[in-house]
Structure 1
Amino acid sequence: MNPLEAVLILLAGAAAGTINAAVGSGSLITFPTLLAFGFPPVLANVSNNIGLVPGGIASVWGYRRELADQRRRLLMLGSMSVLGGIVGAVLLLTLPASAFAAVVPVLIGVAIVLVVVQPWIQRSLARRRERRGQAAAADVGPAAMTATALVGVYGGYFGGAQGIILVATLGTMMTESLQRLNALKNGLVTSVNTVAAVAFLVIAPSQVDWRIVALIAIGSSAGGLLGARIGRRLPQPVLRGVIVVVGLIAIVNLGRS
């Protein structure tokens, strides 16, 4: 790794941390950058995952106000994220690198559609709960927990656009604002990345390049704080539009890879 590559990886980490906090899919910046510099795919994925953990923690701190009264949700869904993240990390180290390549663009495409129709779905859910007299806390049920675990598996395996998929999925089950869902997403994605990082360190420490980890960690930490500030100030329709645009760019980039 020469000095120019180190600077570019640092900048990619900052960009990824910013995008992850505000929207999601920051790995689609850092991971291709590492591949372009000739790092093996599994090593790049593992090192990138570990490096993004501090950025995730920074984004959670930035959204701490929106998370203050969602601790029950974060605890219940976070347990499923941890479980899914462990399974995904093990799959990464045992399955071919191309195993999920075909399905990832499809998942992101479905997530984009869900983000677009999310307001209509949430209004329908709210009306249904009113008729049945259900409390808002009931949205953390088996469906939400199962969906969170499955997204966790995906996140532990690859992670690109994990945040977009998670926001879109939970948004169809919870009558919440996009900002509060985004805050919850940051907490759950960070849980996935953290447990996957621990699994990688235990199972395959030889796949960790600590130079990459350090550069991405520094960049993503700064980016996570910045992204939280940006994301919290975006009006909900604008944030929704940004998520759709970033998701479409992710699909195009994955199609070229």
Structure 2
Amino acid sequence: MTGLEHLAVLAAGLGAGVLTSTVGVASLLSFPVLLAVGIPPVVANASNTVGLVPAGLSGSWGYRAELRAHPRIAAAVIVTCALGSIAGATLLLTLPPGVFESVVPWLILFTCLLVGAQPTISRWLAARRRGPAPERHGMSPVTTAFSVLTGVYGGYFGAGSGVMMVAVLGLGTDLELRFVNALKTLAVLASNLVATVIFLVVADLDWTAILLLAAGSVVGGYVGARVGRRLPPTLFRVLIVVAGVTTAVVMLV
């Protein structure tokens, strides 16, 4: 890579770190930059995952107050996304490239629909309940299963996995969106961290790209957490939908 390409990857890491802790579509920015500087797709995908681990670490640290408020569900998110990520990383290394390319954009668009419609859906579900129901501050078996599936996708590719986790937690729990955002960042970290362990052992990696992404993303992740906890719920939901739709359109094109 040339000097300008180094700067481009570093800047991509910074931007991706901010996106990790806010709207959860970091790979939409960083992965295309790695391809643009000449890194092969599978190597770029694995290197991107490894390079964005610091974003998840710094972002989760930035959300530490929110995560401490719900330790049980935070632990459940870590376990489910970590287990799912093992399967996802294995799929990335064993399946032919592009197997899910035709399905993933539509999956992300459907997830965006769920995020946008979540308040209406939640009100409808509440109206169908008989009598007052306790607030859901834990993960039901259904929510747990979808969290595992989100981890699988995060380990396989990851673009839009944060959007998916917002939908899963938004519909499956009654947590405020700032807590959902914190847990989403933790979910991305868990998926990336487990996939990284696998990739370090068996995948081809570009260490120059990894170090540049890591340097930028560790700063961006913390900055994004500071921004994310101050986003009004409606604005946050709009940004999630816009980011998810953009990801899907880019993948379709």
TM-score of the alignment, normalized to the shorter chain, above 0.5: yes
Matched, 1:178 2:184: no
Structure 2 CA distance for aligned equivalents of residues 243 and 77 of structure 1: 19
Identical aligned residues as a percent: 45
Q: Do 1:125 and 1:175's aligned partners in 2 also have CA atoms closer than 8 Å?
A: no
Structure 1 CA distance for aligned equivalents of residues 192 and 123 of structure 2: 32
Structure 1 CA distance for aligned equivalents of residues 91 and 124 of structure 2: 37
Structure 2, unaligned stretches of length 5 or more?
Answer: none
The 3 A distance-change label for structure 1 pair 130 and 198 is farther
Alignment correspondent of 1:240 = 237
Structure 2 CA distance for aligned equivalents of residues 146 and 128 of structure 1: 23
Q: Do 1:122 and 1:174's aligned partners in 2 also have CA atoms closer than 8 Å?
A: no
Alignment correspondent of 2:164 = 165
When the two structures are aligned, how many residues end up with a matched partner?
253
SS of aligned partner of 1:234: coil
The 3 A distance-change label for structure 1 pair 176 and 135 is closer
Q: CA deviation at 1:127?
A: 5.2
SS of aligned partner of 2:52: helix
Alignment of 1:114-153 (within 5 A): 114-126=114-126, 131=131, 133-134=133-134, 136-137=136-137, 139-153=138-152
Q: Which amino acid aligns with 2:23?
A: V
Alignment correspondent of 1:41 = 41
Q: Deviations over 1:131-179 (max 9, x none)?
A: 3644524x41110110011011110000001000110122111112221
Alignment correspondent of 1:66 = 66
Structure 2 CA distance for aligned equivalents of residues 174 and 229 of structure 1: 23
Structure 2 CA distance for aligned equivalents of residues 215 and 167 of structure 1: 28
Q: Which amino acid aligns with 1:59?
A: G
The 3 A distance-change label for structure 1 pair 249 and 146 is same
Q: Do 2:67 and 2:179's aligned partners in 1 also have CA atoms closer than 8 Å?
A: yes
RMSD: 1.5
Q: Deviations over 1:68-108 (max 9, x none)?
A: 12110011232111110011001100001101111111111
Q: Do 2:51 and 2:213's aligned partners in 1 also have CA atoms closer than 8 Å?
A: yes
Q: CA deviation at 1:238?
A: 0.8
Q: Do 2:140 and 2:172's aligned partners in 1 also have CA atoms closer than 8 Å?
A: no
The 3 A distance-change label for structure 1 pair 220 and 181 is same
Q: CA deviation at 1:129?
A: 6.3
Structure 1 CA distance for aligned equivalents of residues 174 and 122 of structure 2: 5
Matched, 1:87 2:87: yes
Structure 1, unaligned stretches of length 5 or more?
Answer: none
Structure 2 CA distance for aligned equivalents of residues 24 and 36 of structure 1: 22
The 3 A distance-change label for structure 1 pair 130 and 236 is farther
Instruction: State TM-score, norm by structure 1.
Output: 0.94
Structure 2 CA distance for aligned equivalents of residues 130 and 72 of structure 1: 27
Q: Deviations over 1:226-255 (max 9, x none)?
A: 111111111111111111111121122112
SS of aligned partner of 1:193: helix
Structure 2 CA distance for aligned equivalents of residues 79 and 119 of structure 1: 27
Q: CA deviation at 1:125?
A: 4.4
Q: Deviations over 1:36-94 (max 9, x none)?
A: 11111110000100000001111101111111121100112321111100110011000
Q: Do 2:23 and 2:240's aligned partners in 1 also have CA atoms closer than 8 Å?
A: yes
Q: Which amino acid aligns with 2:169?
A: L
Structure 2 CA distance for aligned equivalents of residues 70 and 122 of structure 1: 21
Alignment correspondent of 1:29 = 29
Structure 1 CA distance for aligned equivalents of residues 31 and 168 of structure 2: 24
Alignment correspondent of 1:222 = 219
Instruction: State TM-score, norm by structure 2.
Output: 0.95
Structure 2 CA distance for aligned equivalents of residues 124 and 57 of structure 1: 36
